[in-house]
Structure 1
Amino acid sequence: MVVAGLVFAGVAALIHVYIFYLESVAWTSRRARATFGIASEQDAQTTRTLAFNQGFYNLFLVVAIVLGAVVIAFGATAVGATLVFTGAGSMVAASLVLVISRPSMARAALIQGLPPLLGVAALAVGIGF
């Protein structure tokens, strides 16, 4: 179950790398605006700095998961699992905030939140938590 937890957490990390790209690199693009419901390029320009910052928050969660998986691979399960739980758990929490604050984004919240939730659950079972 540890491997399954890390695989789900890895999928979540890949999704959040893409979110980082949309928010921090491609925010004013048509694709990013459509994904986040930003009507105009002017609105995207106005919020670009906020999105840039938010994208890096997502990237830092990815770093926690990747570092945690590496640490687990080297045998420090408690430390590695703590990092994975922190990164993936924060992703789950962010998806809940998204769906509560913007119910129309429920599909996006599910995409953002289900893989890390499954990762946390499988990892917890796998380490006997």
Structure 2
Amino acid sequence: MVAITLILLVAAIHIWIVVLEMVLWTAPAGRRVFATTEVFASQTKVLAANQGLYNGFLVAALIWALVAGVSGPGWQMAVYGLSCVIVAGLYGAATVSRRVLFVQALPAALALAALLAGI
């Protein structure tokens, strides 16, 4: 099913974001992805970890939906999780970087469209 594959992709993207924000925020890889300085990353480490935790909740919703079955009881959780990712992606694109639109919102929108189309 296309929707399942896309939901897995969105979950994988957000697992990576969780790792970046909670573990690698002050490391060179995290600073490179988010274009931050060592000083800024150090000063905002706790805030980034908090963001990472919220991204983890999005992953949990998507995994829960997949385990429950997106063509059955997990359908509503999938719609909820993907909708949250889309809103977060749109907000991030408007406030942080347009790149967030393509990394977060677009894959989630495609997954939601596939889910709603039943494919």
TM-score (norm 2): 0.92
Letter in 2 for 1:95: G
Match of 1:66 in 2: 63
Q: If each structure's helix is expressed as a fraction of its own residues, which one has the higher value?
A: 1
5+ residue gaps in structure 2? none
Higher radius of gyration, 1 or 2: 1
Could you list the structure 1 runs, at least 4 aligned residues long, displaced by more than 4 angstroms after superposition. none
* Candidates 31, 34, 37, aligned match of 1:33: 31
**Which residue is 2:117 aligned to?**
125
TM-score, normalising length from structure 1? 0.86
Aligned length: 119
Contact 2:90 2:100 in 1 (8 A): no
* Partner SS, residue 74 of structure 2: helix
Q: CA deviation at 1:107?
A: 2.2
For 2:5, the equivalent position in structure 1 comes to 7
Q: CA RMSD in A?
A: 1.5
Partner SS state of residue 51, structure 1 = helix
2:14 alignment counterpart? 16
Quote how far apart the aligned CAs of 1:63 are.
0.8
1:51 counterpart residue number: 48
Separation in structure 1 between the aligned mates of residue 118 and residue 46 of structure 2, nearest angstrom: 40
Higher mean C-alpha deviation, range 79-88 or range 23-32: 79-88
Identity across the alignment (%): 34
1:92 aligned onto 2:86: yes
Structure 1, residues 30-75: CA drift from partner, whole Å, max 9, x if none? 111121121x2111111000100110111111111111011117x7
Q: Which runs of 5+ in 1 are unaligned?
A: none
